[in-house]
Amino acid sequence: MSGISAGKRLSEAGITDLVILEATDHVGGRMHKRDLGGIKVEMGANWVEGVNGGKMNPIWPIVNSTLKLTNFRSDFDDLASNVYKEKGGVYKKAYVQKRIDRSDEVKEDGDKLSAKLHPSGQDDMSILAMQRLNDHLPNGPSSPVDMILDYFKYDYEFAEPPRVTSLQNTVPLATFSDFGDDVYFVADQRGYEAVVYYLAGQYLKADKAGNIVDPRLQLNKVVREISYSTRGVEVKTEDNKVYKADYVMVSTSLGVLQSDLIQFKPQLPTWKVLSIYQIDMAVYTKIFVKFPKKFWPEGKGREFFLYASSRRGYYGVWQEFEAQYPDANVLLVTVTDEESRRIEQQSDNQTKVEIMEVLRSMFPGEDVPDATDILVPRWWSDRFYKVTFSNWPIGVNRYEYDQLRAPVGRVYFTGEHTSEHYNGYVHGAYLSGIDSADILINCAQKSMCKYHVQGKYD
């Protein structure tokens, strides 16, 4: 997304002599659909997050008006009725609602505390530290119900636990305070990636079916080496092709930057390397499973249900698709962080066995058949990604994000991880492409090549 967005901005500024090198066989990166038993589901990004607020999320009109992608407002309204015990059955709604209310109170206190901290970030703390302070629990939420509610509130959003996530930079979260609290699930069979193809089609030649046929987009080109000097850049791909240019913009994931896939010659300066490695790589895994029949509750207020395991984050967040994929008999379970890494290293069959055990524990009185299909993304293991999205850790402030976004000579950088306010989101990737392109345009067309990075605690 960020690379296509940057290319569009450059083209609009008259910089059309460009080549886009894409390592895979498609554009869109982590916006990518796959087939699951005859329906298309999203391997990565799935929601337009932040809708119906004071500002317009730039992705929303493209999805909802321009392309008219099929989408549904996610319904979290009756979650208290849908928290399942480890050995089956649901917890009483009144009890769960009481725990939700307490969790919300702690978060509201966290909002107030975050606003009081020094704006430089020098007083930042983890979300868990805030919870300890406000809830007087030395280890944070610890009962099965409190753990799954905590997981749903934080890990399900950031893909990492509260102990590593910055309070000051995520509470409140700019995506929701700026664009609104509503989130919409994209379930269109064209895929969420249709947004990227639409943007690409604004400046790259496409056929009537929307496929990009412009020779400036080159697929299956794995960049392995970037050489740069004051005179220009050379980019070498795995097939030993060399591309020479005045500038290069790197739009890989943060995970790729933290790996050894691309070698920079000369090596990137220390300040740049430190900024790259200080941002967290988060892993968020959406596992789709298809069944021969339904055995779970449906209807209003039933879209999301939680499994309150004594093992935090173990197949905890579930979503059913009565509206999105009618009669498809599909469930989605989301895992993150260490569970994601563990699951990526085992077979799909082993994952299916674990999932079936959980479902049969949740629904002991139902005839729960084996799943017929399972789709397990492996973003962490994929050398072209190594991450699902970035997360803002403790102690990192605008200084590191400015450094992460800053060019090194003629080498420019973009991606959701360079978005100070919207990292981790589709709109963050889209806007970062525009921002990074503007930095390059200022240098190439206006000779304004100095990029100012404000001091750490200025």
- Any catalytic annotation for residue 49? yes
Q: Which of 49, 303, 344, 400 is catalytic?
A: 49
* HSE-CB for 251 with a 13 A CA cutoff: 28
Q: Read off the DSSP letter of residue 268.
A: P
DSSP, residue by residue, 270-310: HHHHHHHHHSEEE-EEEEEEE-SS--S--STT-SEEEE--S
| Nearest alpha carbon to residue 374 among 434, 302, 287 | 287
CA–CA distance, 76 with 339 (Å, rounded to integer): 24
What is the enclosing helix (H) or strand (E) of 378?
Answer: none
Nearest in space to 223 (alpha carbons), one of 234, 232, 212: 234
CA–CA dist 297, 74 (Å, integer): 16
Q: Cα torsion at 408, 422, 32, 356 (round to 10°)?
A: 130
Print burial letters for 218-245: b (CB count within 10 Å at least 16), e (below 16): eeebbbeebbbeeeebebbbeeeeebee
Residue 152 burial by Cβ neighbours in a 10 Å radius (0-12, 13-18, 19+): buried
**52: which DSSP letter?**
S
Can you name the residues that pair with 90 across neighbouring β-strands? 84
Half-sphere exposure of 320 (CA within 13 A, CB side): 22
324 SS3 class: coil
- Supply the DSSP string of 116-145, one letter for each residue: HS-TTSTT--BHHHHHHHHH--TTS--SHH
The answer to whether 428 and 296 have CB atoms below 8 angstroms apart is: no
| Alpha-carbon distance values, 64 to 53, 245, 325 (Å) | 15, 38, 18
Is 218 in a helix, a strand, or coil?
strand
Query: Catalytic positions, please?
Result: 49
